[in-house]
Structure 1
Amino acid sequence: MKTQESEIDIDDDLANSIVQHIINSALADGSLNPTGKSKDQFNQEVFSYLRKIAESDAQFSLILDHRKTLLDQARSFRKSKNVELAILFYATWTEHMLNLFVASYLRRRKLADSFIQDFLRDTGTKSKYIFIISSYTEKNPAKSWITKLNFISERRNQFVHFKWKGYDDLKSAQMKREYEKGLEWAESLVRHFNLLEKKYLTYAKIYTLP
């Protein structure tokens, strides 16, 4: 792949990565929407969108996505038995997922970014999850997922705000068990959100350069 102006060679892996980032950004801001479309239909929409960008002189913005880094860090800390930091990164990853779903839905409704930012800032974890399930699916939000989300958020807050407190051995053992349970629930939430993302936000890991 070459740029037309500078004729600089770009490695195909890098080009595919750039294309995927463009697609993900378009999904996040509502420029692409797979809802109610077959994979072939959405493929055609993606190709048309990429062609329009290639033929346009207009600038476009990419949305930075830190989720992979956050999840990698969470799993690394879990592997090294640093449960407090693992919970911190899992909880942050979860917040990014919630915000992605909410922002994508509201952008598809053409709401202003300032309104979306206010909504994300002023809405709690439970309310965001209820909004997501109610907006994207025909199901009622399951209390079990809300319980897990709240539990992980509480453990994160416990670490961030109350780490300075001292505990006796019995209390410390109880807290360790709570963190370990939180880590198990965190991984189940990762699977849950990844399935939701695959179903409702992205068929888009489909495009590769020939």
Structure 2
Amino acid sequence: MIEGIDPREASWVAEKLFHSAIADGHLTSDDLKDPHRAIKKLQTLVKVGDFELTFVIDHRGSLLDLALEYMKATKYELSVLFFATFFEHSINHVIDASLKRKNFGNDVAKGLIRACAIRDKFGWVLELLSLPSFNAAHRKTIERVAEERNQFAHYKWTGFKEPKAADLSLLASAKKAATYARTYESRLIYNGNKTRINKLFPAKSPKSRKPV
């Protein structure tokens, strides 16, 4: 262990590097079958310079925590806001990883992500990248959540409306869609090995901030 670095923080950093290496295609599902082999390969990649260190903070855990907390508190608009942001972060990660595995540069990934609406990202963009189609029912839910988010984010001062049963039903569907989105990503990027990675690195970063 490096002197002066908290073991929990070191484990957290290593976990993020693992996720980055897998998403970019530097580590494969076969590598993960032997954790020690995977760790050794990652160390070699970093040592010889074949792996560009990219440290990216994944906010999705915090976003989903907040969406669910506001859902429980029946704060509809805020729950929708965080659900929609979670979905956008998730599909952006899938698109970015897919393009990097196809050896496209960061500019291409950023350009495509910025140019496309969330409806496009869950639709024709996946087809363009030869990725599996997203469940139609969950895709429809995500599109509705995005529309509701936009109404709140671009508020027109048209008056307050009490959340209706249909609104709360949308949040329940969003929760199911979030579970599906995680499974979709795990199957696509990690080939079902995400849980195995998490077991390698039990130490976690500080807990998500809760709503006040």
**TM (normalized to structure 2)?**
0.78
Q: CA deviation at 1:208?
A: 4.2
Q: Is the 8 A contact 2:31 2:38 kept in 1?
A: no
Unaligned runs of 5+ in 2: 203-212
Letter aligned with residue 159 of structure 1: F
4+ runs deviating over 6 angstroms: none
Provide the aligned length of Structure 1 versus Structure 2: 195
Q: 1:76 to 1:142 in 2, by over 3 A?
A: closer
Percent identity, aligned pairs only?
23
For the residues of structure 1 that align with 2:151 and 2:43, how far apart are their CA atoms?
45
Cα distance 1:146–1:69, how it changes in 2: closer, same or farther (>3 A)?
Answer: same
Pair 1:187–1:43, CA change in 2 (3 A): farther
Aligned to 1:193: 181
Supply the distance in 2 between the matched residues of 1:59 and 1:38 (Cα, whole angstroms).
19
What are the Cα deviations for residues 72-119 of structure 1, in whole angstroms up to 9, with x where unaligned?
211221122211101000000000001000000001111011111110
Shift in Å, 1:42: 7.8
CA distance in 2, matches of 1:119, 1:48: 31
Calculate the aligned-residue CA RMSD, in Å: 2.8
Contact 1:33 1:201 survives alignment (8 Å): no
Structure showing greater radius of gyration is 1
Where in structure 2 are the equivalents of 1:79-94 lying within 5 Å?
A: 79-94=72-87
Alignment partners' CA distance in 1, 2:69 and 2:61: 12
- Secondary structure of 2:200 counterpart: coil
* In structure 1, C-alpha distance between the alignment counterparts of 2:7 and 2:116, rounded to whole Å: 41
2:61 aligned residue: 68
Structure 1 segments unaligned to the other structure (5+ residues): 3-7
Following the alignment from structure 2 to structure 1, what is the Cα–Cα distance between the partners of residues 48 and 107? 30
Q: CA deviation at 1:48?
A: 0.3
Sort the Cα spacing of 1:166 and 1:157 in 2 relative to 1 into closer, same or farther, 3 A: same
2:169 aligned residue (181, 185, 189): 181
Are the structure 2 counterparts of residues 142 and 80 from structure 1 closer, same or farther at C-alpha, using a change threshold of 3 Å? Answer: closer
1:39-98, Cα deviation, whole Å (9 max, x unpaired): 426873453023432576x97231221111111211221122211101000000000001
1:119 and 2:112 are equivalent in the alignment: yes
Structure 1 length normalisation: TM-score? Answer: 0.79
Q: Distance in 1 between matches of 2:115 and 2:45?
A: 36
Give, in whole Å, the separation in 1 of the partners of 2:135 and 2:179: 15
Say if 2:118 and 2:143, in contact at 8 Å, map to a contact too: yes
2:126 to 132, 137, 151: 132
Q: Return the alpha-carbon distance in structure 2 between the equivalents of residues 92 and 17 of structure 1.
A: 23
Distance 1:11 1:55 in 2: 26
Asked if the contact 2:83–2:174 (Cα under 8 Å) also holds between the matched residues in 1, the reply is yes
Distance 1:199 1:38, change over 3 A: farther
The residue aligned with 1:13 is 8
